Amino acid sequence: MRPTLPARLRRAFLVLLLPALARAAAPAPDADGFTPLFNGRDLSGWVNGNCAPETWSVRDGLIHCTGLPIGGLRTERQYENFILELEWRHLRRSGNSGVFVWGSPINAPGVPFLRGIEVQALDHGYAEDFQRKNGKASDWFTVHGDVFAIHGATMRYIGRTNGKRSFPIEDRSRPSPEWNHYRIEARNGSLRLHVNGREVSGGDDANYRKGYLALESEGSPVEFRNLRIKELPSSGAGPEVTAPVDPGWRALFNALDLRGWRTTAATEAAWTVGNGRITARAGAGPEAALVTSTELGAAEFIVDYQPPRAGPAEAVVLVRGHPVRLTGAEPGKFSRFTVTVAAGKVRVAREGGAATEAALPAGLPAKGPFALVPATAGGVFTNLHARDL
């Protein structure tokens, strides 16, 4: 019989071996100091933030995006200072997409986009359609590499600007289905975009200035290739200018349909899905609660809720069968609620404010589904995320 190492020694050996294996598996920088962000085979190193499973895939060595729903594919890790190069092309006229820099790990409240800096990737047909419809060219966007901060991010724009985005100083992008090359240089909160070989737009004093990178799905099929990055020395971005680190969020709602939720005749009559949102019909009762197929124990949840303009401004969710009230949302506007269930207690915080806390009743199961309960007046939910504690 061949001798074997005791389990304790095997574990110790693996602890020492795994970092070495990880270093060996990591791609080596090329002569210019760049490493690939995409291996051409699968989406290793990337996270599907809030889209359907089929939204992002690999086809013929390219990252392919269907465009539906609106959402993002982000990197597993954060970046601070770097040079990012990639190529993109739209597969349909008037396509819309983008590259997010220094982004948050999940969507900003009430929207399908990350908080961060967007480098727009827009097809020529979008501007042509606008001009045909309005009789003049747009004065608030271009199709040649606009740069702008969105959903809480900030930036001081350089060059040609309307105060809300940096417009390119030269028109250099190519229309669908041609490929375009972007070079994004990011240093200490300053960003410069090069389109097809020349610098055209950018900004300074960004906040965040350290965060995730992401590719955008926004309604039309688009492809990406030749993604590579050269990391530059850190300039010490502090927590006040750094995006939160992903603690392990996973989306409960794919922003497209109710896969992952139990549906019945009652729920199908009570709920509708559209524009990345789940909407409750006014008058539906608690018997039409929408329940996840998965069960969770100690966990934390993100729930974006918008009450109707008329009616009570509260919603109810169920955690392991226990009702939790979400109160304080302004009618007609989204509020982000964080619900934490652990150690026999449930805590609820709205918009990151002070949390209310209550004891969970005795006898609850150790695990159970998460559920949305339709309020009498209706309401809208989006950006549903969970993580195990």
pLDDT at 12 over 70: no
The pLDDT value recorded for residue 287 is 83
- Is position 5 within any domain? no
- Is position 24 within any domain? no
Range scoring the smallest mean pLDDT among 38-52, 96-110, 291-305, 372-386: 372-386
pLDDT at 1 over 60: no
**Are 291 and 365 within one domain?**
yes
The pLDDT value recorded for residue 27 is 76
**Whether 254 contacts 51, CB under 8 Å:** yes
Region 87-94: mean pLDDT is: 98
**Are 148 and 186 within one domain?**
yes
The pLDDT value recorded for residue 285 is 76
The rounded distance, in Å, linking the Cα atoms of 363 and 63 is 48
**Are 75 and 222 within one domain?**
yes
More confident residue, 376 or 177: 177
Helix residue ranges per DSSP H, the chain? 7-25, 124-134, 265-270
pLDDT tens-digit map of 159-198: 999 999 999 999 999 999 999 999 999 999 999 999 999 9
pLDDT at 329 over 50: yes
- Written as six digits, the tokens of 31 are 């002569």
The pLDDT value recorded for residue 25 is 56
Measured in residues, the chain has a length of 389
The pLDDT value recorded for residue 314 is 84
Pairing status of strand 35-36 against strand 222-231: antiparallel
Q: What domain count does the chain have?
A: 2
Q: Which of 264, 303, 286, 294 lies closest to 373 in space, CA to CA?
A: 286
- Written as six digits, the tokens of 257 are 């349909």
pLDDT tens-digit map of 279-299: 998 877 788 899 999 999 999
Tell me the C-alpha to C-alpha distance, in Å, between residue 46 and each of 2, 56, 78, 116, 350: 41, 10, 11, 17, 29
**Are 199 and 263 within one domain?**
no
**Are 257 and 234 within one domain?**
no
**Are 119 and 160 within one domain?**
yes
The domain boundary residue, chosen from 210, 229, 246: 246
Task: Provide the mean pLDDT of the chain.
Answer: 92
The rounded distance, in Å, linking the Cα atoms of 345 and 324 is 11
**Are 358 and 377 within one domain?**
yes
The rounded distance, in Å, linking the Cα atoms of 147 and 99 is 10
**Are 231 and 263 within one domain?**
no
**Are 269 and 342 within one domain?**
yes
The rounded distance, in Å, linking the Cα atoms of 301 and 89 is 36
The rounded distance, in Å, linking the Cα atoms of 133 and 137 is 10
**Are 302 and 214 within one domain?**
no
**Whether 221 contacts 90, CB under 8 Å:** yes
The domain boundary residue, chosen from 195, 227, 246: 246
- Is position 3 within any domain? no
pLDDT tens-digit map of 21-57: 444 456 788 888 999 999 999 999 999 999 999 999 9
Domain of residue 135, CATH code: 2.60.120.560
Boundaries of domain holding 134:
30-246
- Is position 168 within any domain? yes
pLDDT tens-digit map of 218-253: 999 999 999 999 999 999 999 999 999 999 999 999
**Are 239 and 348 within one domain?**
no
- Is position 378 within any domain? yes
Map residue 348 onto helix, strand or coil: strand
**Whether 98 contacts 146, CB under 8 Å:** no
- Is position 118 within any domain? yes
**Are 351 and 256 within one domain?**
yes
The rounded distance, in Å, linking the Cα atoms of 208 and 188 is 10
Burial label for 174, CB within 10 Å (0-12, 13-18, 19+), is middle
The rounded distance, in Å, linking the Cα atoms of 214 and 219 is 16
The pLDDT value recorded for residue 292 is 97
pLDDT at 211 over 60: yes
Map residue 126 onto helix, strand or coil: helix
The domain boundary residue, chosen from 246, 276, 303: 246
- Is position 14 within any domain? no
pLDDT over 70, % of the chain: 93
- Is position 242 within any domain? yes
Query: Residue 97, CB half-sphere, CA atoms under 13 Å: how many?
Result: 29
